[in-house]
Structure 1
Amino acid sequence: MSRVVVLVVVVVVVIVVVVTVVLVVVVLVVVEVVVVVTVVLVVVVVLVVVVVVVVVVVVVVVVVVLVVVIVGGDGVVVVAVVVVVVVIVVVVVVVVVVVVVVVVVVVVVVVVVVVVVDVVYQ
């Protein structure tokens, strides 16, 4: 009788340990995948934004220079206008990048928490 009880206790302990290890591994894999996806998303968003900024700055500078050349004006005014426009565009883009990165990170954290809770409580 005591052997049966010991055997049952051993089997239950082994099952609990195996299930716990499997759950931990699953959670770690899911978290790792989500983190990798997040990093890739953030890098892609930042690269796209940088390309857009460069294009916008080039277009704005060309347009301002063309307008000043066509209308006529002082070279100092052209430089001042170009600098102001470039600074405004860069500030707006930096704000957009920060907002996008924060949103992506928050979404990923929420997804990780939901997945972990779901896996643990299944």
Structure 2
Amino acid sequence: MMMVMVIVEMVIVLVIVVIVVVVIVVMMVLAMVMMAVMMVVNVMVVAMLLLMVFVVVVVVVMVKVIVVTVVVMVVTLVVIVITVVVLIVVLVMVLMVVVVMFVMMVVMVKAIVVVS
């Protein structure tokens, strides 16, 4: 009878020890998993931050490129307008010269006719 009690007590102690060990191991595993998860989360957060920075840089570069393109386009337009205006002025001057020449010719012809 005593032997049975001792065996039962030993088994109970063993079960308690096993439970404690299992709990400790589970806690350690959980802690490890949590650490791993935290590491992953940290990596994710860092990656997200890097991605945000990258996106911001890309957006800034894009905006700069767009601004430069717009400025170039505006300058080109201005140059084209100036060129057109200059061409029109030159054409008007040429026309005026032609008209003056024509008038001079007519006057000369009339003078010759009158003289003759």
Partners of 1:2 and 1:31 lie apart in 2 by 42
Cα distance in 2 for partners of 1:51, 1:28 equals: 34
* Structure 1 residue 16 displacement after superposition: 1.4
Distance in 1, matches of 2:71 and 2:96, equals 37
Q: Counterparts of 1:35 and 1:29 in 2: how far apart (Å)?
A: 10
Aligned mates of 2:90, 2:37 — CA distance in 1 = 79
Query: Which of 85, 93, 106 is the equivalent residue of 1:62?
Result: 93
2:45 to 14, 25, 48: 14
What is residue 72 of structure 2 aligned with on the other side? 41
Q: What is the TM-score with the length of structure 1 in the denominator?
A: 0.55
Percent identical residues: 45
Q: Over aligned residues, Cα RMSD in angstroms?
A: 1.9
Aligned partner of 2:26 in structure 1 is none
Q: Which runs of 5+ in 1 are unaligned?
A: 75-122
Deviation per residue, 1:37-61 (Å, 9 max, x gap): 1111111111111111111101111
- Aligned residue for 1:25? 56
Following TM superposition, by how much is the alpha carbon of 1:10 offset from its aligned partner in structure 2, in angstroms? 1.4
Query: What do residues 16-73 of structure 1 show as CA deviations (whole Å, max 9, x unaligned)?
Result: 1011101110110011001111111111111111111111101111112202321348
Letter in 2 for 1:60: L
**Unpaired runs of 5+ in structure 2?**
1-31, 107-116
* Partner-residue secondary structure (3-state), 1:2: helix
User: Which contiguous aligned blocks of 4+ residues in structure 1 show a shift greater than 2 angstroms?
Assistant: 71-74
TM-score normalized by the length of structure 2: 0.57
